[in-house]
Amino acid sequence: MGDQLNCNHSWFETTDHSITYVMMEIRTETDYATHHIQKTAGFFAAMRQFSNFLKSKKHQCIYIKINDKDNLQSLEANLSNIIEKDHYTKFEYQLPDEYRVDLILKNFTSKLGIASKVYDTQHFFSTRDELGKFFEGKKSFLMESFYRAMRKKHQVLMSGENPITGQWNYDEENRKKLPKNHKPAAPLVFNNNVSDIVDAILQTDINTMGVIDKTNFIWPINRDQSLELLSHFVTECLPLFGTYQDAMIPNEWSLYHSRLSFSLNTKMISPAEVIEAAIGAWQKQPEIIAYNQLEGFVRQIIGWREYMRGIYWLKMPEYATLNFFNHQEKLPQWFWTGKTKMNCLKDAITQSLTFAYAHHIQRLMITGNFALLAGTDPEEVDQWYLGIYIDALDWVEITNTRGMSQFADGGIVGTKPYVSSAAYIDKMSHYCGTCFYNKTKKTGDRSCPFNSLYWNFYDKHEAKLAHNPRIGMMYKVWHRMKPEDKTALLEQADYYLKHINEL
Ligand SMILES: Cc1cc2nc3c(=O)[nH]c(=O)nc-3n(C[C@H](O)[C@H](O)[C@H](O)COP(=O)(O)OP(=O)(O)OC[C@H]3O[C@@H](n4cnc5c(N)ncnc54)[C@H](O)[C@@H]3O)c2cc1C
Ligand code: SF4
């Protein structure tokens, strides 16, 4: 699979010519969502590099390209064809991470006339069902508890049962706004030539979004480049990773983030080696990399990433249908163009279309925040996130989007909806100063849409949210407002929702 490019998997330790590895670029994968062209090209490029690796190690490999004449364009059809033609006697595969592909393979092997066997991908810290067992009988699924259990189990920054510093969480020291004149480290980008692939994608009329520079493709497409990006991250970005983890600034698209999600999700590198590299760098230079930076990063990988995967396998397939608020709206058209007067959204969407990337807080507190306040159908939101980001795979996209960002799961992943008015966005970014809209205005001409939509959201969902202890305060503020102010806010929100494509 395109997300199973693990050179260090035990499968590849020895060469056995009775085994043939099969890899394929197929329409069922390019067409289940409208993907960013960099995502489709990136996956194909990384797959082709991986097949070169297999061949260099003298493994036998059949590689079917997207425009090969005999490509039957689905996993089952291509596999059946190969098995029948060359009389294979056994079919083996690695556990897929996506429910959709898992079903396809289970169905396929159940009808197959030959023996089959499934292997672990040897990538994650936890197994598919580990989180389910950990929270068995519990009503809530606190990420923090699972994170601590993972730290203990794998002895990451631990001294026996306790964290080495005596403290688990350093969020308090992190998440600062970027000073105005601060110039972040320049992102390390690659200059891969993926012209062949892009031409094939265009030739086969695959629907895509976004743009690509096909002779200077910026993302890592093999293990060596992924390791180079990791090394760049630990020296250039980790020293300020935690501090500016939630910061946003126009025209700086990655700040101190690692941009390792594509390498990780394709399994070109493993979470264990990423953590090891970060810890190694901190041990070597604790005066440059403070512990809070390191812990903030380790938490993302061994905490959030493993947690989201566990939730996915515990809650699928129902999870993909959850819509707690019963939201039904469409995304505004400018989500596909970036053409909006709202500076924060213009920046986050434009950079997503340009780089197939936005960092976490842009995904959560800009695009996700707006989609939720606008009452968008989580299905629409999922499709957008699943398509636009280079790292988007169902298991980690849907849990973040439907769960963390849209609260469509009613609070499995998050304890409250991540919504905000302009105040939070202004606190964490430099977007508002040059915006067409006025961050301090709640109603009237040029009032920031986040302000009225925020109160409209709380008003609309009071029955579902008022009992949540983390939001009770907001309802106290809302109820104390003068009736005429409340009416003005709701009317303003209504106007903006009716003219959403013009914002
Ligand atoms: C609405 C929404 C959709 C998202 N969709 C995806 C997705 O499709 N694929 C994806 O990999 N991540 C997704 N995320 C999580 C996170 O935003 C990305 O992992 C991160 O932005 C990738 O950039 P980075 O590698 O520079 O991350 P960094 O900020 O450098 O973090 C390091 C690594 O930690 C992991 N990580 C951090 N936060 C999360 C998280 N919440 N869940 C899982 N892993 C995390 C990632 O592997 C990431 O590479 C989404 C978040 C939101 C709010
Ligand atoms: S004023 Fe409102 S729309 Fe403009 S950048 Fe700030 S939060 Fe975004």
Average pLDDT of adjacent 10-residue blocks, the chain of 503 residues: 97 95 96 97 98 96 96 96 94 97 96 94 97 94 96 96 94 87 92 97 94 97 98 97 94 95 98 98 96 96 98 97 97 97 97 97 98 98 98 98 97 94 95 96 97 98 92 92 97 98 96
How far is ligand 2, taken at its centre, from the CA of residue 176, in Å?
19
- Listing DSSP states for 189-203 in one string gives ---B--HHHHHHHHH
Q: What is the pTM of this model?
A: 0.96
How far is ligand 1, taken at its centre, from the CA of residue 366, in Å?
15
- Looking at residue 410, its pLDDT comes to 95
- Looking at residue 469, its pLDDT comes to 87
Ligand 2, atom 6, residue with closest C-alpha: 432
- Residue 461 in tokens: 């969902």
Ligand 1, atom 46, residue with closest C-alpha: 261
Neighbours of 30 (CB within 10 A): 21
- Residue 163 in tokens: 């964290």
How far is ligand 1, taken at its centre, from the CA of residue 246, in Å?
12
> Cβ(21)–Cβ(47) under 8 Å?
no
- The closest ligand to the CA of 124 turns out to be 1
SS3 (DSSP) at 429 = strand
Single-letter amino acid, residue 170: Y
Ligand 2, atom 3, residue with closest C-alpha: 342
Ligand 1, atom 22, residue with closest C-alpha: 261
| Mutate which of 431, 436, 453, 503 for ligand 2 pocket (most atoms within 8 A of beta carbon) | 431
CB of residue 281 inside a 6 A radius of ligand 2: no
- The closest ligand to the CA of 427 turns out to be 2
Ligand 1 binding site (Cβ under 6 Å of any ligand atom): 257-261, 264-265, 300-301, 304-305, 308, 359-360, 363-364, 368, 385, 389, 391-392, 396-397, 400-401, 404-405
CB of residue 342 inside a 6 A radius of ligand 2: yes
Convert 215-228 to b/e letters by CB count within 10 Å (16 or more is b): eebbbbbbbebbbe
CB of residue 266 inside a 6 A radius of ligand 2: no
- The closest ligand to the CA of 384 turns out to be 1
How far is ligand 1, taken at its centre, from the CA of residue 267, in Å?
15
Backbone Cα Rg of the chain = 24
- Looking at residue 139, its pLDDT comes to 87
SS3 (DSSP) at 38 = helix
Report CA dihedral (177, 180, 184, 187) to the nearest 10 degrees: 90
- Looking at residue 141, its pLDDT comes to 95
- Residue 415 in tokens: 């304890």
Maximum alpha-carbon separation in the chain:
78
- Looking at residue 185, its pLDDT comes to 86
The residue length of the chain stands at 503
CB of residue 248 inside a 6 A radius of ligand 2: no
How far is ligand 1, taken at its centre, from the CA of residue 188, in Å?
18
| Mutate which of 36, 150, 260, 261 for ligand 1 pocket (most atoms within 8 A of beta carbon) | 261
- Residue 73 in tokens: 């364009």
Ligand 1, atom 5, residue with closest C-alpha: 397
> Cβ(221)–Cβ(38) under 8 Å?
no
The ligand 1 atom nearest the CA atom of 359: 21
Sign of CA dihedral 148, 149, 152, 155: negative
Q: Phi/psi of residue 500, each to 5°?
A: -60, -35
- Round to whole Å and give the CA distance between 146 and 41: 35
> Cβ(342)–Cβ(437) under 8 Å?
yes
- Residue 141 in tokens: 């699924």
- Residue 165 in tokens: 């510093």
- The closest ligand to the CA of 451 turns out to be 2
- Residue 259 in tokens: 């941009």
CB of residue 448 inside a 6 A radius of ligand 2: yes
Report CA dihedral (180, 185, 191, 192) to the nearest 10 degrees: -100
35-36 vs 208-209, strand pairing mode: parallel
How far is ligand 2, taken at its centre, from the CA of residue 349, in Å?
14
Convert 118-141 to b/e letters by CB count within 10 Å (16 or more is b): eeebbbbbbebebbeebbeeeeeb
CB of residue 422 inside a 6 A radius of ligand 2: yes
60-64 vs 20-24, strand pairing mode: parallel
- Round to whole Å and give the CA distance between 138 and 46: 40
- Looking at residue 174, its pLDDT comes to 84
